[in-house]
Structure 1
Amino acid sequence: MTSRIYAGHETALRAWDGGEGRALMVHCSLGHSGAWKGVAGHLAATHASRGFDLPGHGRSGPWDGQGVYQDVVCAQIRGMIADWEAPVDLIGHSFGATACLRVACTSPELVRRLVLIEPVFFTAAYRADPAFEAEQMAKGSEVYDSFRAKDYRSAARAFLRDWGGGQPFDAMSPVQQDQFVEQMKLVEAVYVTNNGDPDGMLGDGLVARLPMPVLLIDGAESPEGSHRIVQALDDLIPDSRLVTIPGAAHMVPITHADSVGPLVAEFLA
């Protein structure tokens, strides 16, 4: 791995050799760029792949808490594309997918094709079905209730139950638990954009005018909100395809890389 400064943050970079295509990958909250290894291997025949650790993740520098977290990540993505060669194929998972979508909406000249794996852009689902939003608000959220109480340990336990890779929080080592508890502050930091509409992506019709082809992927066993989000985006985006991976949950690009990778390779070819 190497390290550079992007958007004022020390950023750890990872690269996989491959063909002439250029694929930039953005991981989920609580993850790191190494999560893309399986998918990148399937792209090697046609694409060189690059990834980076988000602020406060992996080997990147800590998040300084200044500004809006997604704003910084989008600036990092634009900087990396400028250092490579536009347009690139942009691939994101979960929070990473929300940042990729925003870059594609606001700087479409930078993106040739877009892959969104379970983007946690809840606003899309809520605008598509206000009754679903009302139902979710009435139900409440253990994660965000814990945030309000500044109880990040309870937040980590609840978050990993719904959005993790299958290992319960209480089965982790104390070191792993402490790491996830600290990183929950980063999950809290993305709430404003996951549940907002940065740059008017929806309100100003940017998603509905995306000019590039878009592949949407979700896992059949993921939370209902994930299915609602990708379906809402599929309904809005002019040139999109939605694929659900059987037996997979939210961490589908890691747990089912041998299903996701060939799909992405075919789409980007």
Structure 2
Amino acid sequence: MTTRTYAGHATALRHWPGGPGRALLVHCSLAHSGAWKGVAAHLAETHDCRAFDLPGHGRSGPWDRRGVYQDTVCAQMREMIAEWEAPVDLIGHSFGATAALRVAATAPELVRRLVLIEPVFFTVAYQADPAFREAQMQETSEVEEGFRTGDYRRAAIAFLSDWGGGQPWESLTAEQQEGFTEQMKLVEAVFVTNNGDPDGMLAGGLVARLQAPTLLIDGGASPEASHRIVAALDALIPDTHLVTVPGAGHMVPITHADTVGPLVTDFLT
């Protein structure tokens, strides 16, 4: 790995050589760029793959808590892509997919094709079905309650239960538990964009005019919100292909890399 500065942040970069295509992969909250190892292995013959650790994750520097977290990540991505030679194929998972969608919508010249795996852009699901938003708002989740009270350990336990890879909290080491608890502050920081409309992507019709062909992937055993989000994007984006991986949960690109990898490779070639 190497470290460079993007958008003013020390950023750890990972590289899987290949070619001739170029793919930038953006990981989910609480993970790091190594999470893409399995998918990148399937892309080796067709793509040179790069990934980076989000601020406050992996070996990247901490987030300075200035401004909006997703704004910082998108600024990093734009700099990386422009430096690398645009356009590239952009692949994102969970929060990483929300940032990938935003970059593709606001800077279409940077993105050739787009892969969104379980994007947590709740706003698009709420727009498609206001009743679903109302139902969600009436339920105070354990995660939100943890944020409200400053109990980030409680928030981490609940978050990983719904959006993790299925590993019980009790099976994690004390160091892992401490790390996830601290990183929940970053999950809290992305709520504003996961549940908002940055750059007016929806209100301004940017997503509805998205130019990049888009592959949407979710897991058959994922939370209901995941299915609603990809369904809403499938209906909104002009050129899409939606695939549900049977039996998979939210961490599908890690737990089912041998299914996701070929799907992504076929779509990008």
| Paired position in structure 2 for 1:109 | 109
| Paired position in structure 2 for 1:67 | 67
| Paired position in structure 1 for 2:173 | 173
Counterpart of 1:148, as a letter, is R
Offset at residue 97 of structure 1 (A): 0.2
* Distance (whole Å) between structure 1 residues aligned to residue 42 and residue 128 of structure 2: 34
Gap runs ≥5 in structure 1: none
Offset at residue 256 of structure 1 (A): 0.2
Determine whether 1:28 maps to 2:28. yes
* Distance (whole Å) between structure 2 residues aligned to residue 60 and residue 15 of structure 1: 15
Deviation per residue, 1:64-104 (Å, 9 max, x gap): 11110000000000010011010000000000000000000
| Length-normalised TM-score, structure 1 | 0.99
* Distance (whole Å) between structure 2 residues aligned to residue 141 and residue 7 of structure 1: 33
Deviation per residue, 1:171-190 (Å, 9 max, x gap): 21111000000000000000
Counterpart of 2:123, as a letter, is T
Counterpart of 1:67, as a letter, is G
| Paired position in structure 2 for 1:90 | 90
8 Å Cα contact 1:157-1:170 kept in structure 2: no
Alignment of 1:11-26 (within 5 A): 11-26=11-26
8 Å Cα contact 1:222-1:250 kept in structure 2: yes
| Paired position in structure 2 for 1:197 | 197
* Distance (whole Å) between structure 2 residues aligned to residue 140 and residue 199 of structure 1: 27
Deviation per residue, 1:214-265 (Å, 9 max, x gap): 0000000000000000000000000001100011000000000000000000
| Length-normalised TM-score, structure 2 | 0.99
SS at the partner of 2:60?
coil
Structure 1 vs Structure 2: percent identity of aligned residues? 75
Counterpart of 2:51, as a letter, is G
Q: Number of residue pairs matched?
A: 269
* Distance (whole Å) between structure 2 residues aligned to residue 239 and residue 255 of structure 1: 27
Counterpart of 2:50, as a letter, is R
* Distance (whole Å) between structure 2 residues aligned to residue 82 and residue 241 of structure 1: 27
Deviation per residue, 1:5-41 (Å, 9 max, x gap): 0011000000001111000000000000000010001
| Paired position in structure 2 for 1:234 | 234
* Distance (whole Å) between structure 2 residues aligned to residue 31 and residue 196 of structure 1: 23
Deviation per residue, 1:100-140 (Å, 9 max, x gap): 00000000000000000000000000000000011111122
8 Å Cα contact 1:10-1:61 kept in structure 2: yes
Counterpart of 1:21, as a letter, is G
* Distance (whole Å) between structure 1 residues aligned to residue 145 and residue 2 of structure 2: 38
Gap runs ≥5 in structure 2: none
Counterpart of 2:206, as a letter, is L
Offset at residue 170 of structure 1 (A): 2.2
| Paired position in structure 1 for 2:126 | 126
| Paired position in structure 2 for 1:7 | 7
* Distance (whole Å) between structure 2 residues aligned to residue 191 and residue 184 of structure 1: 11
Q: Which runs of 4+ in 1 moved over 6 A?
A: none
Deviation per residue, 1:190-221 (Å, 9 max, x gap): 00000000000001110000011000000000
* Distance (whole Å) between structure 2 residues aligned to residue 77 and residue 116 of structure 1: 15
8 Å Cα contact 1:93-1:118 kept in structure 2: yes
8 Å Cα contact 1:7-1:75 kept in structure 2: yes
